[in-house]
A and B are shown apart, each in its own frame.
Chain A
Amino acid sequence: MAAHAAAVHHAEMGWIRTYIFSTDHKMIAKQYLLNGLFFALFGGIIALVFRSHLAMPEQELLNPARYNAYVTMHGTLMIFWVAMPILLGFFGNLTIPLMIGARDMAFPLLNMMSYWTFFISSVVIMASFFVPGGPFSGGWTAYAPLSANTELTGVNWGINLWAVGLALEFTAVLMGGINFIVTPFVLRARGMSLMRLPIVVWMVVIASLLFMMSVGPLIAGTFMLLFDKNVGTHFYLVSADKVGDPLLWQHLFWFFGHPEVYVILIPGLGVISEIFPAAARKPLHGYKHIIFWTIFAGILSFMVWAHHMFIAGLNPLAAVGFSITTIIISVPFLVIVVAMGLTLWGGSLRFNAAFLYAFFAYVIFIVGGLTGLQLGATVADIQLHETYFVVAHFHYVIFASVILSTFAAVQWWFPKMFGRLMNEGVAKVHAISTFFLFNIVFTPMFILGFAGYTRRYASYDHIPLLQGYAWLNDFVSIAGVLLILVQFLFVFNFFYSMIAGKRATANPWEATTMEWSAPSPPPHLNWGDTIPVVERDPYEYAPEVPSNGADYEPQGRLMTMR
């Protein structure tokens, strides 16, 4: 490979090439991570504001239109500017080359362009906060006609920037995705067969494929939306003499949307599957099954989208069909969850902070998956659609797969980013308090949803029927504010450890996969004068005949170059 040869003699690069316009996958990973974490904090603070408003609507912290704008931007940012950059941009860039024994991505330049396109998209979406009319307020799903007609929301530029920012963000992820898919296929080290790839690599590949195969129609749809809004076409809008189809947007959005929720789920599951075997000191249970069932779920995820539209005027017969596929799609996740559980079963667990994060993610994900199953049944969804029950459902899945597994991943791979360890004590306090507060915030939402709390209302004071539950909703608000505040523990730990954390050895967790054979942090092009060679499967903990006296066998070793 060309990249390998280049490794031997690489010149020192300037500051700008190292930190700003870097083509090094590890630097790009860090850029994606920081950008994502910034928006996580920002999106969290937005939630803090609108929940504060909800707790005391009479204070008029926000007017109702602003309230909706904040809710919209919270969702938009969390999905597209937090989950996507971190789960694909960060996980993919950090893990793929190191784990497969490559020196960098297949297309380093494209990789750099991917991040900077993402950066521009971040600027665009941030700009929407400052234009007249404020940011978009029609919900993160941007249903037409609300999104296609300025008069309905009073937001004009906010919508345009929302759509353009999204298109740019998609472009960035597509560019990154090409790398994430091609690299594991063409740059694997000797001995690294496909069935020896660590799970998280598989997961990023599958997620990138899902994204690529689903986003096209929505890009076209977004342009049609811009046309309707700015040129006066009628793709979605209906007027006295012109017919459009408002449901078309929902179809285009959710045809992308459901695969998308798996895009931001499975890399998270991948991280959990990396940490569990190392914590339990046991091989990952059912490696092949996890891969196979994930692919199966990925394919099926293209056939469930209308479960978001059960009461949108869908043909009842079609609703039955989509109910069935939705219920079938829970099976793969059941298999995966059981495989993960069996990995822990009977192991002598090492309770480090990364494992705590991963384990809490696992528990929370199970609740989210089960409640998705309930929503998938049309009869139940007629009652629960657009209520806090749905809000609780998707926060259970997304908080697990995005937020908690990001914490786990950062804690786990911090040595490979900064050569130091994050503080275990702070991390444990953070993990446990986050876990408890999260449940305190979102479990009541299931109840509120059943009681009839419709989502996206700026105040429930005028609905007599709901007054009996007002205390619970206030309770949620208070706990929610606490949950967000606790996150500053992580922010502190992250920056403190970056500067003053304990120096890490190459393999502080005694883990098996290839990245732990590189120094912490790995140099530019990762392997210096050595060549990684892979000799066995990825998770050989507790081997029958340990070759080195330890309770694990590294997946491969580094050979010196002749």
Chain B
Amino acid sequence: MAHAQAHSLEHVEPTNIGPPKLGMWLFLSGEVVLFGGVIMTIVLFRISFPGWKEASEHTNPIIGSVNTFNLLTSSMLVALAHKMSATGNHGLSKLCILGCLAFGILFLVLKWAIEWPVEIMKGYTIHEGPFWQLYYAATGLHAVHVLIGLIAFTVILILYMGKWRPNFTLEATALYWHFVDIVWLFLWPLFYLS
């Protein structure tokens, strides 16, 4: 088999998707599997243990839904920011990043400063059975991802204020941010609407 194309000097150019982007997609695919495992676990507990539905009625669907809105909006803003910076509209791009940060922070404040403390005060702690422990574990893991994204955006914004121009960095972080958003779109119905 080896002899067929032997002596021809083919010009095979390397794939033209840039290495960082490919790396980012790989990282995200790993994250998909991570959250895939978490979501499968939720589904498993949901079907095999009674009491899930009753417990889920004590979450706050209003906060849950407002937070969905927050993440979707900030995801949209970040897409805009990327577009603006690509077309050289840096002022607007920075404004969009700022907006994205604001909605992201609102998400975390609602989640960590209002929603969780209220639930814990009502006695729904992590020790209150399958629903609540998964609720805290899964939304907690997700919120940590939100936090990491916010830190990344803050750094980008600070650098952006100077001479530095984000090209790929912004795009990669935006990819990540959309991913975090999509994960929430799975967690939201599982915990708030079931």
List residues of chain A with CB under 8 Å of any chain B CB.
1, 106-107, 110, 174, 177-178, 181-183, 185-188, 190-193, 212-221, 223-224, 227, 231-235, 242-245, 248, 252, 255, 283-284, 286-288, 533, 535-540, 543-544, 553
Could you show 26 A-B contacts with beta carbons less than 8 Å apart? A106-B23, A110-B23, A174-B30, A178-B27, A182-B22, A183-B19, A186-B14, A186-B15, A188-B12, A190-B11, A190-B12, A193-B10, A214-B33, A217-B38, A217-B41, A220-B41, A233-B126, A233-B127, A233-B133, A244-B130, A287-B1, A287-B2, A537-B5, A537-B6, A540-B2, A543-B3
Which segment of B43-51, B152-160, B184-192 sits at the interface? B43-51
Which one of B10, B37, B129 has the greatest number of beta carbons of chain A within 10 Å? B37
4 other contacts beyond A186-B17, A216-B32, A245-B45, with CB at 8 A cut-off?
A: A191-B12, A193-B10, A242-B129, A245-B48
Least CB distance from A515 to B in Å reads 18
Least CB distance from A104 to B in Å reads 12
Which one of B1, B2, B18, B134 has the greatest number of beta carbons of chain A within 10 Å? B2
Query: A residues within 8 A CB of B20?
Result: 107
Instruction: Tell me the complex Cα distance, A288–B134, Å.
Output: 45
- In the complex formed, the residue of B with least CB distance to A110 is B23
> When the two chains form their complex, are residues A216 and B126 in contact, meaning their CB atoms are under 8 A apart?
no
Contact of B19 among A186, A224, A535, A553 (CB under 8 A): A186
Interface positions, chain B 113-157, Cβ under 8 Å from A, are 126-127, 129-130, 133-134, 137, 141
Contact of A181 among B7, B12, B26, B32 (CB under 8 A): B26
Query: B residues within 8 A CB of A283?
Result: 1-3
> When the two chains form their complex, are residues B137 and A106 in contact, meaning their CB atoms are under 8 A apart?
no
Query: B residues within 8 A CB of A224?
Result: 41, 137
> When the two chains form their complex, are residues A536 and B5 in contact, meaning their CB atoms are under 8 A apart?
yes
- In the complex formed, the residue of B with least CB distance to A196 is B12
Contact of B41 among A177, A191, A248 (CB under 8 A): A248
Instruction: Tell me the complex Cα distance, A217–B141, Å.
Output: 13
Tally of chain B residues near chain A (CB < 8 A): 47
Instruction: Tell me the complex Cα distance, A157–B15, Å.
Output: 48
Instruction: Tell me the complex Cα distance, A244–B29, Å.
Output: 29
Instruction: Tell me the complex Cα distance, A181–B19, Å.
Output: 10
> When the two chains form their complex, are residues B1 and A221 in contact, meaning their CB atoms are under 8 A apart?
no
Known: A215-B33, A219-B34. A185 touches B49 (CB 8 A): no
Query: A residues within 8 A CB of B6?
Result: 536-537, 540, 543, 553
> When the two chains form their complex, are residues A212 and B11 in contact, meaning their CB atoms are under 8 A apart?
no
Query: B residues within 8 A CB of A214?
Result: 33
Q: B35 at interface (Cβ–Cβ under 8 A)?
A: yes
Least CB distance from A528 to B in Å reads 21
Least CB distance from A239 to B in Å reads 11
Q: B62 at interface (Cβ–Cβ under 8 A)?
A: no
> When the two chains form their complex, are residues A212 and B26 in contact, meaning their CB atoms are under 8 A apart?
yes
> When the two chains form their complex, are residues B3 and A544 in contact, meaning their CB atoms are under 8 A apart?
yes
> When the two chains form their complex, are residues A539 and B15 in contact, meaning their CB atoms are under 8 A apart?
no
- In the complex formed, the residue of B with least CB distance to A100 is B14
List residues of chain B with CB under 8 Å of any chain A CB.
1-15, 17-20, 22-23, 26-27, 29-38, 40-41, 44-45, 48-49, 126-127, 129-130, 133-134, 137, 141
- In the complex formed, the residue of A with least CB distance to B48 is A245
Instruction: Tell me the complex Cα distance, A61–B3, Å.
Output: 61
Instruction: Tell me the complex Cα distance, A31–B7, Å.
Output: 38
> When the two chains form their complex, are residues B12 and A220 in contact, meaning their CB atoms are under 8 A apart?
no
Least CB distance from B12 to A in Å reads 4
> When the two chains form their complex, are residues A217 and B36 in contact, meaning their CB atoms are under 8 A apart?
yes
Query: A residues within 8 A CB of B30?
Result: 174, 212-213, 215-216
Query: A residues within 8 A CB of B37?
Result: 216-218, 220-221, 252, 255
- In the complex formed, the residue of B with least CB distance to A227 is B137
- In the complex formed, the residue of B with least CB distance to A241 is B129
Instruction: Tell me the complex Cα distance, A215–B32, Å.
Output: 11
Least CB distance from A243 to B in Å reads 6
Instruction: Tell me the complex Cα distance, A220–B4, Å.
Output: 49
3 residue pairs, one from A and one from B, having the closest CB atoms = A217-B37, A216-B34, A216-B33
Contact of A227 among B3, B19, B133 (CB under 8 A): B133
Known: A178-B23, A227-B133. A187 touches B2 (CB 8 A): no
Contact of A178 among B26, B31, B45 (CB under 8 A): B26
> When the two chains form their complex, are residues A232 and B19 in contact, meaning their CB atoms are under 8 A apart?
no
> When the two chains form their complex, are residues B29 and A213 in contact, meaning their CB atoms are under 8 A apart?
yes
> When the two chains form their complex, are residues A220 and B34 in contact, meaning their CB atoms are under 8 A apart?
yes
Known: A217-B37, A283-B2. A185 touches B44 (CB 8 A): no
- In the complex formed, the residue of A with least CB distance to B33 is A216
Query: A residues within 8 A CB of B5?
Result: 536-537
Instruction: Tell me the complex Cα distance, A537–B2, Å.
Output: 6
Least CB distance from B172 to A in Å reads 13
- In the complex formed, the residue of A with least CB distance to B6 is A536
> When the two chains form their complex, are residues A191 and B9 in contact, meaning their CB atoms are under 8 A apart?
yes
Known: A221-B37, A243-B130, A245-B45. A188 touches B11 (CB 8 A): no
Which one of B19, B20, B38 has the greatest number of beta carbons of chain A within 10 Å? B19
Instruction: Tell me the complex Cα distance, A214–B32, Å.
Output: 10
Query: A residues within 8 A CB of B130?
Result: 234, 243-244
Least CB distance from A274 to B in Å reads 14
Query: B residues within 8 A CB of A235?
Result: 41, 133-134, 137
Instruction: Tell me the complex Cα distance, A283–B5, Å.
Output: 14
Least CB distance from A397 to B in Å reads 25
Known: A174-B30, A217-B37, A245-B44. A234 touches B133 (CB 8 A): yes
Instruction: Tell me the complex Cα distance, A539–B2, Å.
Output: 7
> When the two chains form their complex, are residues A107 and B34 in contact, meaning their CB atoms are under 8 A apart?
no
Query: B residues within 8 A CB of A220?
Result: 34, 37-38, 41, 141
Instruction: Tell me the complex Cα distance, A248–B19, Å.
Output: 37
- In the complex formed, the residue of B with least CB distance to A556 is B9
Least CB distance from B37 to A in Å reads 2
Instruction: Tell me the complex Cα distance, A287–B44, Å.
Output: 42
Instruction: Tell me the complex Cα distance, A537–B23, Å.
Output: 27
- In the complex formed, the residue of B with least CB distance to A231 is B126
> When the two chains form their complex, are residues A535 and B133 in contact, meaning their CB atoms are under 8 A apart?
no
Least CB distance from A359 to B in Å reads 22
Which one of A177, A192, A216, A218 has the greatest number of beta carbons of chain B within 10 Å? A216
Query: B residues within 8 A CB of A553?
Result: 6
Least CB distance from A103 to B in Å reads 13
